């Protein structure tokens, strides 16, 4: 993997994930707030190493199944997300102690392995180099919303006002979202379509059968079904937002708009998810959906900006220390 380096680093930022869009967007959300060129690595790790991560025996670079391999010069900043990224972040830090390593989400290893860990508050992780935030980092900013408003004008300008963006997730370890839940949500959306122009998108977790049930319910409405990449266009054009309760990422992206966020309930949701939604409500960002779309205002959620400022402080501290040694 190359020799240890302690001198000048490449003035860039590496993003290291296993390629899941939700993980990559968390890293990009932080990186895009910093004035560093960004290079993205989507790791493909061979078994059995992918199964035992974040543990890695020997060099993790030898376990890659191909693709773009991280090699020197090492970056000034590395931002990782997901357990597959952890062996690589730690290996780069061993080779290049001056590289600032940042991990989003709970790493499930000692946080002292990184310069900074940015987990969600509801995970309860603490430590001197732990910077908890409400939810997860994201890429939604006023500038990106304004750009998306222009970019998607031809697609969404003709949607009836008031426009309601509907962000649908799916089942996970905490929430159930099967055919019964899909039918109930489909009936809800059909009713809402009488008074709102709907812009609806589903995620990869929605499930093929549930997806079919939902969009069959909307067949005779004028709902706009969005199957493109990302949801920034829907957020930019929405007057209000409805998010299924299972997705922290989508709720945080919705909250970054400053528009009313309604959380659609699903069966389950105890523990950490409950704490997350209660915190969103206390901040005035969201309210439980109870049959009507309400209007209210709040200071838009910008936890990504807070975390990025902490990363910038680390980079500045390192630069000052390096100058003093020069």
Whichever domain contains 33, its CATH number is: 3.40.50
Give the least confident one: 123-137, 165-179, 220-234, 235-249. 220-234
Whether the per-residue pLDDT at 4 is higher than 50: the answer is: no
Query: What CATH number corresponds to the domain at position 258?
Result: 3.40.50.2000
Find, among 121, 25, 128, 135, the residue nearest to 79 by Cα.
Answer: 25
My answer on whether 242 and 315 are in the same domain is no
pLDDT digits (tens, 9 = 90+) for 98-142: 999 999 999 989 999 999 999 999 999 999 999 999 999 999 999
E strand or H helix at 104, and its extent? strand 100-104
d(CA 66, CA 59): 15
Asked if 16 contacts 80 with a C-beta cutoff of 8 angstroms, the reply is yes
Residue 294: CB partners within 8 Å, gap ≥ 6? 240, 260, 262, 287
CB atoms within 10 A of CB 180: 12
* Average pLDDT taken over every residue of the chain: 92
**pLDDT, tens digit, 9 for 90 and up, residues 239-285:** 999 999 999 999 999 999 999 999 999 999 888 899 999 999 999 99
220 is a domain residue = yes
Same domain, 216 and 262: yes
Q: Give the Å distances, CA to CA, from 267 to 158, 174, 219, 321.
A: 35, 9, 26, 52
Tokens of 67: 């693709």
Residue 299 is assigned to a structural domain of this protein: no
User: In this model, does residue 69 exceed pLDDT 60?
Assistant: yes
Query: Is 153 in the same domain as 276?
Result: yes
**248-255 vs 21-31: helix crossing angle, rounded to 10:** 40
Identify the domain containing residue 160 by its residue range: 142-288
Same domain, 166 and 241: yes
How far is it, in rounded angstroms, from Cα 252 to Cα 70?
Answer: 31
Domain membership flag for residue 5:
no
Band the pLDDT of 326: cuts 50, 70, 90. low
Same domain? 151 vs 276: yes
pLDDT of residue 228: 67
How far is it between the farthest Cα atoms of the chain? 70
Instruction: Tell me the pTM.
Output: 0.90
Any domain includes 45? yes
Task: Characterise 310 by phi-psi region: left (phi > 0), alpha (psi -120 to 50), beta (else).
Answer: alpha
Residue 48: count of CB within 10 angstroms of its CB: 10
Please check whether residues 234 and 122 belong to one and the same domain: no
Q: What was the pLDDT predicted at 1? A: 42
Instruction: Pick the range with the lowest mean pLDDT from 17-26, 82-91, 221-230.
Output: 221-230
User: Which CA distances in Å does 188 have to 14, 111, 182?
Assistant: 43, 43, 10
Question: Are the C-beta atoms of 79 and 104 separated by less than 8 Å?
Answer: yes
Least confident of 9-13, 56-60, 104-108, 279-283: 56-60
Burial class (CB in 10 A: 0-12, 13-18, 19+), 37: exposed
Domain count, the chain: 2
For residue 147, give the nearest of 230, 240, 227 by alpha carbon: 230
Phi, psi of 93 (to 5 degrees): -65, -40
Supply the angle between the helices 272-282 and 248-255 in degrees, to the nearest 10: 10
**Phi-psi label, residue 45: left if phi above 0, alpha if psi -120 to 50, beta otherwise:** beta
């Amino acid at each position: 993997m190359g020799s240890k380096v302690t001198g000048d680093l490449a003035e860039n930022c590496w993003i290291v994930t296993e390629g899941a869009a939700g993980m990559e967007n968390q890293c990009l959300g932080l990186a895009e707030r910093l004035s560093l060129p960004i290079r993205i690595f989507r790791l493909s790790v061979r078994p059995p190493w992918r199964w035992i991560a974040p543990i890695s025996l020997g060099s993790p670079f030898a376990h890659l199944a191909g693709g773009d391999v991280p090699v020197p010069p090492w970056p000034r900043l590395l931002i990782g997300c997901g357990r597959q990224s952890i062996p690589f972040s730690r290996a780069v830090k061993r080779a290049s102690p001056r590289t600032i390593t940042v991990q989003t989400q709970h790493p499930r290893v000692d946080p002292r392995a990184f310069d900074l860990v940015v987990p969600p508050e509801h995970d309860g992780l603490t430590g001197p180099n732990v910077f908890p935030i409400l939810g997860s980092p994201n890429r939604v900013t006023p500038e990106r919303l304004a750009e998306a408003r222009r970019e998607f004008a031809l697609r969404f300008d003709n949607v009836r006002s008031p426009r309601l963006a509907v962000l649908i997730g799916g089942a996970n370890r905490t929430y159930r979202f099967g055919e019964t839940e899909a039918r109930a949500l489909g009936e809800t959306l059909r009713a809402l379509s009488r008074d709102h122009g709907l812009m609806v998108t589903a995620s990869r977790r929605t499930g093929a059968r549930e997806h079919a049930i939902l969009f069959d319910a909307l067949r005779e409405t004028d709902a706009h079904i969005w199957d493109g990449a990302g949801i920034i266009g829907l957020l930019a054009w929405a007057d209000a937002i409805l998010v299924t309760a299972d997705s922290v990422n989508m709720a945080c992206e919705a909250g970054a708009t400053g528009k009313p966020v309604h959380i659609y309930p699903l069966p389950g949701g105890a523990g950490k998810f409950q704490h997350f939604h209660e915190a969103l409500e206390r901040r005035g960002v969201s309210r439980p959906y109870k049959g009507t779309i309400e209007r209210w205002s709040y200071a838009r959620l910008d936890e990504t900006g807070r975390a990025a400022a902490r990363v910038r402080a680390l980079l500045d501290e390192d630069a000052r220390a390096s100058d003093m040694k020069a």
